């Protein structure tokens, strides 16, 4: 019996030792504070996330992240902050405002390939292109944007950059423009030449459903994914994967003003023009931005 009693007392003692401290004890308060701090501590912010959140980007640019998914897109494509990255036809610099400070943080280098006036005979148009290019360059002269250099691309231009020096070449929603000019294959050939062996070509483009007929000039702005893959294969690239991160199932790709019917362009009937049958701009606003393919290709290692 003595043994049984002793065992019971020992068990009670152990239970008491394992019981939580009273709620108002210093030990309990410290424990709660520690747990709360662990739960409330923000997750570490990566250099890419910092660039995306940076004040370099306007609120209007950031509002489009929900459609363009820059973090997920760049991570899928395998871009690293110490890479030499070629971005072609950057437009207003939406992706440049992410890429430049991000690469600057990691010691990378950005090559911006602007529209080249080579081969254009219209002096007024050439002057306008050159002025636009100079204004673009001025936006990234600040040291916070790191190492940025510039080349040009058009139907008559030279190489995108020094051959075999790029880790990544990126194009965002440009292929339909080159199809309109009939020099889309030229881009893929020059991207292949620019990349190091093992380098990456990343493509984001408005996607035409496979059931729809592809106009060779792509006047709607939409392109068959299979055609993009063919262009890349013709240049020597190996397909390495696709992502649906920029997909939009609500986009039927058959709008009266092509892809430009949708935000952010949101084309409208011109003044005095009869609106298309059933025209309702709210329908297109509700669809959001276009359905987009996101493709990754590799230049084979030698």
pLDDT confidence band for 44 (50 / 70 / 90): confident
Phi/psi of residue 216, nearest 5 degrees: -55, -25
- Does the pLDDT at position 73 exceed 90? yes
Name which of 7-11, 19-23, 33-37 the model is least confident about: 7-11
The answer to whether the Cα torsion of 189, 191, 197, 202 is positive or negative is negative
Q: How much is the pLDDT for 193?
A: 98
Q: How much is the pLDDT for 80?
A: 98
Instruction: Say which residue, 27 or 273, is predicted with more confidence.
Output: 273
Q: Are 190 and 293 in contact (CB under 8 A)?
A: no
Which domains, from first to last, does the chain contain? 59-298 (3.40.50.150)
Q: How much is the pLDDT for 5?
A: 38
How does pLDDT run across 263-290, given as a tens digit for each residue?
Answer: 999 999 999 999 999 999 999 999 999 9
**Residue positions counted in the chain:** 302
DSSP three-state, residue 203: strand
DSSP designation for 260: G
Return d(Cα 184, Cα 153) in angstroms, integer. 11
Residue with tokens 């892809």: 259
The whole model's pTM is what? Answer: 0.86
How does pLDDT run across 50-64, given as a tens digit for each residue?
Answer: 999 999 999 999 999
Total Cβ atoms within 10 A of residue 47: 14
Q: How much is the pLDDT for 107?
A: 97
């Amino acid at each position: 019996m003595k043994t049984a009693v002793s065992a019971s007392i020992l068990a009670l003692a152990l239970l008491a030792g394992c019981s939580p401290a009273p709620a108002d004890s210093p030990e309990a308060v410290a424990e709660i504070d520690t747990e709360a701090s662990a739960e409330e501590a923000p997750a570490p912010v990566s250099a890419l996330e910092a660039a995306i959140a940076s004040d370099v980007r306007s609120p209007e640019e950031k509002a489009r992240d929900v459609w363009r998914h820059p973090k997920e897109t760049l991570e899928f494509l395998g871009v690293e902050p110490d890479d030499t990255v070629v971005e072609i036809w950057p437009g207003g610099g939406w992706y440049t405002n992410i890429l430049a400070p991000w690469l600057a943080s990691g010691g990378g280098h950005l090559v911006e390939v602007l529209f080249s006036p080579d081969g254009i005979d219209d002096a007024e148009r050439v002057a306008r292109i050159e002025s636009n290019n100079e204004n673009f360059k001025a936006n990234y002269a600040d040291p916070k944007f790191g190492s940025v250099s510039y080349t040009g691309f058009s139907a008559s231009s030279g190489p995108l950059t020094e051959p075999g020096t790029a880790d990544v070449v990126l194009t965002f929603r440009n292929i339909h423009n080159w199809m309109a000019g009939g020099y889309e294959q030229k881009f893929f050939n020059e991207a292949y030449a620019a990349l190091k062996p093992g380098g990456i070509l990343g493509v984001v483009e408005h996607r035409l459903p496979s059931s729809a007929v592809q106009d060779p000039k792509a006047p709607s702005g939409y392109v068959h994914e299979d055609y993009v893959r063919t262009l890349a294969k013709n240049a020597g690239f190996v397909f390495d994967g696709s992502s649906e991160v920029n997909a939009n199932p609500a986009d039927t790709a058959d709008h009266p003003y092509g892809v430009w019917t949708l935000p952010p362009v949101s084309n409208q009937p011109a003044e005095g023009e009869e609106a298309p049958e059933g025209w309702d701009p709210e329908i297109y606003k509700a669809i959001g931005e276009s359905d987009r393919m996101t493709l990754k290709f590799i230049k084979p290692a030698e």
